[in-house]
Amino acid sequence: MSVSVKICGINSREAAEAVLKAGADFGGLVFFPRSPRHLTLEHGRLLAQQLRSRVRVVTLLVEPDDAMVDDIMAAIAPDFIQLHGNETPERAGAIGFRARRPIIKALAVAEAADVARAHAYQDAADYILFDAKADGSATRPGGWGAAFDWKLVSGTTFKKPFGLAGGLTADNVARAIATSGATFVDASSGVEDAPGKKSPEKIAAFVLAARNAQYTHVRGDV
């Protein structure tokens, strides 16, 4: 089993360098004004230049219109687009077609019915990302440090690879992988000292823990 690692919410040169040094597979850039990790297009462009060719660059968007998609492609030219809002399967597919990029579709999970929604996206998205559902007072759909019950996705079969986000840290990522069978993991708040402030030490520890979990999961020791 090969487990990929994504660090999301990169918002400084120091954080980008920490992600590269740790050996993550994906680096996520957030374009959503209500997030403490939000970037301007120019800041995102500079960080993407720093990351490019060493990790796969992912832009996180929330219900973008066509103009936003075009602006992201012109300024950032990401390798993947992650959709983290209430995009329908049809809209997710249309964005992927317009951008000519693979789509990571995030789905909020609190119960089994939320996991079942993933089947509707399997022709529109290239990857499914299960994240913890935010409560009704939340101002953004993710990045709160909350986890969901990983057993909800255990044993579930999808046509596309799926990953986990939400409350993942170096301390729990091995258990998350072993429980769910996810093929990639995504951390943001779990590798921060404060909202929007990435910790190089926590990034390194998370990537190492995920790599070790990959090894032990293959051997069946977790």
Read off the amino acid at residue 28.
Answer: G
DSSP 72: H
8 noted as active-site residue: yes
Read off the amino acid at residue 141.
Answer: P
Are residues 209 and 173 in contact, defined by beta-carbon separation less than 8 angstroms?
Answer: yes
Task: Name the active-site residue from 25, 66, 114, 131.
Answer: 131
Query: By CB neighbour count within 10 A (0-12 exposed, 13-18 middle, 19+ buried), where does 67 fall?
Result: exposed
Task: Name the active-site residue from 8, 65, 66, 186.
Answer: 8
Q: What are the phi and psi torsion angles at 17 (to 5°)?
A: -65, -40
Helix then strand then coil, in percent of the chain rounded to 5, is 40, 20, 40
Q: What are the phi and psi torsion angles at 3 (to 5°)?
A: -110, 125
Are residues 19 and 7 in contact, defined by beta-carbon separation less than 8 angstroms?
Answer: yes
Return d(Cα 202, Cα 190) in angstroms, integer. Answer: 8
b/e per residue 101-117 (b: at least 16 CB within 10 A): bbbbbbbbbeeeebbee
Return d(Cα 27, Cα 12) in angstroms, integer. Answer: 12
Catalytic residues: 8, 131
